[in-house]
Chains A and B, each alone.
Chain A
Amino acid sequence: MRFRLDDDQLALRAGVRELLGRCFGRERLRAAVDAPGRLDRALWRTLGAAGFFSLRLPEADGGAGGGLPEAVLVFEEAGRALLPGPLVATHLAADAVPGAAHGETVVTAVDGELVEWLDAADTVRGDARDAVPLRSVDPLTPLHRLPESRSPAPDPVAVLLTAAEQLGTAGRVCELAVGYARTREQFGRPIGAFQAVQHLCAELLVRAETARAAVYAAAVTADPADIAAARLLADEAAVRGARDCLQVHGGMGFTWEADVHLHLKRAWVRARRAGGSAWSEERLAAALAD
């Protein structure tokens, strides 16, 4: 029982963080916000070359032979960086749709009543007839809506990777809140010296760390009930964390210029993915009633 990241995993995390900082840093992020609906194909190919989509394919099939723990670390970084695009759907299509594994093909999937990135995708998995565009709350995730829910029970891997992205948001908004609290001054001292602000930050960390333990463990066990539980914790850590981070930023938090709203809006989009909380709750209820 050595439930910590091993050296390879630490290196993987550092490598992905460095790559994303280079090819999707703050400037690229804000440029993407200013040009909504455009999926950056060059970035997609870069992600493909870095193994984002082929990560769990066997080495014989050109993959990296990684497992769920590695995938979770990579998607956590994607979440931190607010990386746009149907990442989970493409990742899950790596062994089924030609070109998906290497980022040549953009794959999206019908997910309940919603489809992300329908217009930008090359391939849609599922039945997207009669989909109508909606004005997406998240400027970085174009959405279409279907007349009714048209997907079977979600793939637990989609649930887990969504949780991993939420975890990335939870960790990032904690950092943003703490960084702001250290530097913003009011009443002659940093606001982080005020207990009301300190306690918001402490709860941000506590929620993120609890979710982290749950998500990492679910990646190790791959047990659907563990995954469902982790998803519930990660949704909470991301959504509540982003709101508290916004609160710590005061009026600045309510502006378009601060990134906080982007994290909150993305967290809201992800919270509806892969069965939303209802599926995870009922999956876990079944385990509890066993």
Chain B
Amino acid sequence: MDLSYTPQEEEFRARLRAWLATALPGLPAKPPPDDWPARRAYDLGWQRMLYDAGYAGVHWDSSPVLRLIFLEETERAGAPYVGANFVGLLHAGPTIAAEGTAGQRARWLPPILRGEQVWCQGFSEPGAGSDLASLRTRAWRDGDCYVVTGSKIWTSHAEVADWCELLVRTDPDAPRHRGISWLALPMDAEGVTVRPLRTLAGPAEFAEVFLDEVRVPVAHRVGEENDGWRVTQVTLSFERGTAFAGEVVACRRVLAALARAARENGRWDDPVLRRALVRLEAEFRALWRLVQWNVSEAEASGGVPGAGGSVFKLRYSHARQELYDTAADVLGADALDLDRPWVPDRLSALAYTIAAGTSQIQRSIVAERILGLPRGR
């Protein structure tokens, strides 16, 4: 058990920290949450800065430990969140890097790294959420193209995306998991319609995407035809594995600020509230150690995050919701004011137990894949 970092890792951290200290003050102000074009420009601008400084590929090129340091330090310094680059950097990119051809890698990876293109994730459908393998969006071959018809839903950032990692059914007669393929869909193709959906938090974070006889070159398929489910598992293991590491650091910062606020408004003296805050402090300390544990395991097993990601995702998503519920107790009546800090976060935290696989589905994964219990129905 060793929690210390090697001199090389510490050197990486120090270099990154120094760079952040000079780069962040020059950043423009964050755009308002409902101005998507401005948010896209802002997120891509930040990615470009990372690229120019040599930090762009940390998300999928380097060792899990360097990735952890990267997420820890950027979060600690208050650097922008990946934002619209989430899908490109955290799962489409790693998937293409792992499963794509040399040509596909050369075509799609550099623009993601340089902050030129935004990706979105077209997995869920109105009739295929938790039961993703029941997806019905059809793709049939016509010469060197697939012709795609169907619809996707909850597609985050679809409004401003250039590309979409799209799951389609290429063989309707095969068993459910066998007839799926993974395609890269250009969002400006003819027949693609995007209808933004307002979320309970206010702004339109995600959208419905309608696909009407959209032609996608066969060359845009990543992995073999009908082998898309396996490719998808790679994508999802990245999504659940380390993607949230930086957020744990952010939550601990929020907690410290909440303790300060509670002492200023006198609520800290309420033992029930103090106890709730302390329980969360214990929780987030433990979650950070769990991240370090998972990262160590990933490093030892060749870099791919394992099933520990589901353990972490389950616990973290609930802790995050509790954090902002407790923030509401600190705020008192201000908890009903959308202009107060932490109130919008309380709303967006509600997504965490749903997005990227609901808590119920994660529990089933833990039970069947980690604990080896018999398959349920």
Residues of A within 8 A of B (CB): 1-6, 9, 69, 178, 181-182, 189-190, 192-195, 197-199, 201-203, 205-206, 209-214, 216-217, 219-221, 225-226, 228-230, 232-233, 280-282, 284-285, 287-289
Contacts and interface: CB of A to CB of B under 8 A. Distances in A.
B296 interface: yes
A3 B293 contact: yes
Nearest to A223: B285
B368 interface: yes
B300 to A, nearest CB: 6
Contacts of B290: 209-210, 213-214
B373 A5 contact: no
Interface of B: 1-6, 9, 65, 68, 255-256, 259, 263, 268, 274-275, 277-279, 281-283, 285-287, 289-290, 292-293, 295-297, 299-300, 308, 311, 314-315, 360, 362-364, 366-368, 370-377
B285 A226 contact: yes
A220 B3 contact: yes
Residue with the highest number of chain B CB atoms closer than 10 Å, among A206, A212, A216, A219: A206
Contact of A194 (B282, B286, B363, B376): B376
Given A193-B376, A199-B360, A202-B363, A214 B371 contact: no
A199 B68 CA distance: 30
10 contacts: A181-B373, A182-B372, A194-B376, A198-B363, A201-B373, A210-B286, A229-B281, A233-B283, A284-B278, A288-B259
Nearest to A277: B275
Given A1-B292, A192-B374, A288 B256 contact: yes
B259 A289 contact: yes
Residue from A195, A226, A288 with most neighbouring chain B CB atoms (10 Å): A288
A55 to B, nearest CB: 16
Given A3-B3, A219-B1, 9 more contacts: A2-B2, A3-B1, A195-B376, A199-B364, A202-B367, A205-B366, A210-B290, A213-B290, A214-B282
A1 B296 contact: yes
Contacts of A211: 286
Contact of B371 (A1, A178, A225): A178
Nearest to B260: A289
B366 A228 contact: no
Nearest to B69: A1
Contact of A182 (B295, B311, B373): B373
A1 B364 contact: no
Contacts of A190: 373-374
A205 B370 contact: yes
B374 A210 contact: no
A206 B297 CA distance: 16
Interface centre among B259, B286, B297, B377 (most CB of A within 10 A): B286
Contacts of A182: 372-374
Given A281-B275, A289-B263, A210 B373 contact: no
Contacts of B9: 1
A69 B376 CA distance: 38
B205 to A, nearest CB: 27
Q: List the 7 shortest-distance A-B pairs measured between CB atoms, nearest first.
A: A198-B367, A214-B286, A229-B282, A213-B289, A192-B373, A202-B366, A202-B363
A1 B247 CA distance: 20
A281 to B, nearest CB: 5
Nearest to A283: B278
B286 A288 contact: no
Contacts of B372: 178, 182
A220 B5 CA distance: 13
